[in-house]
């Protein structure tokens, strides 16, 4: 169940990133691999070619998939950097806030302690420009993967469990 601590942590982290790094949110532009790799390949290469284009030797399928959807499906060329950064910042905020779910009381009993940890993860430890970019947001998926070991999967409905498995799959496989 999603609780107030989760939402406050999510919103706080999101607003911190937007306020601290406007060039990654409301004043964004095509930057680094977002321009030279993800935008360029999504716009000018086929879907098949996009799957196999490497970035520094690895296959960033999640960012590539998002880029292809934005460019090839929705044709959002002008808004591409804004949409990508919004997705990246939203997922970073989500991952850092996950520990606030009641499900993780078995790791850390007090809600407030988990909340403080989520804020430190979201704005304290990694609060450098590069860490909040679309090209790097998937690294925050490690929080989801680590927390998934402590998740009580038996209490989930079949639909929730399938969503959980899909999400775990995406963040393990799509970031080769």
Q: Whole-angstrom Cα distance, residue 99 to residue 108? A: 9
Q: What is the pLDDT of residues 125-171, one digit of tens each?
A: 767 888 898 888 888 888 888 888 887 777 778 888 888 778 777 77
DSSP the chain: ---HHHHHHHHHHHHHHHHH-GGGTTT----THIIIIIIHHHHHS-HHHHHH--BTTB-BHHHHHHHHIIIIIT--TTTHHHHHHHHHHHHHHHHHHGGGSGGGGGTS--HHHHHHHHHIIIIITT-SGGGGSTTTGGGGHHHHHHHHTT--GGGS-HHHHHHHHHHHHHHHHTB-
Tell me, what's the pLDDT at 158? 85
Instruction: Report, as ranges of residue numbers, the positions in the chain whose pLDDT lies below 50.
Output: none
Q: Looking at the DSSP assignment, which residues form a beta bridge with residue 105?
A: none
For the question of whether the overall pTM of this predicted structure is more than 0.85, the answer is yes
Tell me, what's the pLDDT at 20? 93
Instruction: Retrieve residue 119's tokens.
Output: 């804020």
**Residue linked to tokens 């989500």:** 94
Tell me, what's the pLDDT at 139? 82
CB 31 within 8 A of CB 133: yes
Tell me, what's the pLDDT at 40? 94
CB 37 within 8 A of CB 55: yes
Tell me, what's the pLDDT at 175? 63
């Amino acid at each position: 169940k999603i609780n107030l601590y989760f939402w406050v942590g999510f919103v706080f982290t999101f607003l911190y990133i937007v306020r601290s790094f406007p060039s990654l949110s409301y004043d964004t532009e095509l930057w680094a691999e977002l321009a030279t790799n993800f935008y360029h390949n999504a716009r000018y290469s086929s879907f098949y070619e996009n799957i196999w284009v490497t970035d520094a030797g690895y296959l960033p399928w999640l960012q590539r998939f998002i880029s292809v959807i934005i460019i090839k499906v929705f044709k959002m060329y002008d808004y591409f950097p804004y949409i990508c950064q919004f997705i990246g910042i939203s997922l970073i905020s989500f991952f850092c806030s996950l520990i606030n779910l009641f499900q993780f009381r078995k790791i850390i009993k007090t809600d407030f302690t988990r909340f403080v940890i989520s804020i430190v993860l979201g704005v304290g430890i990694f609060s450098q420009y590069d860490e909040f970019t679309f090209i790097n947001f998937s690294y925050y998926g490690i929080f989801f993967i680590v927390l998934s070991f402590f998740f009580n999967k038996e209490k989930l409905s079949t639909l929730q469990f399938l969503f959980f498995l899909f999400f775990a799959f995406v963040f393990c496989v799509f970031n080769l």
